[in-house]
Structure 1
Amino acid sequence: MRMDPLPDEEIAAHLAELPGWVREGDTITRAFCVRYQGGVTLIVNVADVERLVGHHADIDLRWDHVRFRITTHDAGHRLTAADFDPAARIAVAHQAQAHNA
């Protein structure tokens, strides 16, 4: 996977394929409305996948939602092509949960 920072046009094209994800500076982010325990379960499922792919989101768990932020730290905290696969996998993990209300 390419580790070079992406130009704005490529970032926008990748985001167009990831509903709910938005750019905030040099990160992409998405919040999922879940109850606290559902957020914990989602985090555990995502952590298992992240361990396998070797790319990790920053995670913020609150009582009514969990927020994921992704950037490539090794590229100077910039967005690279490597950031969009974990975003898609996080969305799939959320959809797979029975308690994502």
Structure 2
Amino acid sequence: MSADEELAKDLGLLSAIAIGIGTMIGAGIFVLPGTAVARAGPLAALTFVIGGVTALFTALSASELGTAMPKSGGAYFYINRALGPLFGSISGWERVIESNS
């Protein structure tokens, strides 16, 4: 990718709907802590800390990969580049199946 090329910065209808649905599902973080505390008691706070640390490491890894290889394709591109086309294809199909279930 040369210095003059940029990734497309546009969203279609399907992308906008996916963002909206993801936001609504993600808003569950404001509802579920009460249920978690009712079931796990004080340990619920520890589970949220562990989940937050895990999410932080995941976000930092993804941002590092995205900065090092600024191409569209996400995890498929990174896996394809690191492990080869077989594992890239497997991860690509996994994403398709995951998004349709």
Whether TM-score is above 0.5 comes out as: no
Give the TM-score, by structure 2 length: 0.30
Hey, which of these two has a bigger chunk of strand by percent? 1
Q: Which has the larger radius of gyration?
A: 2
Give the TM-score, by structure 1 length: 0.30
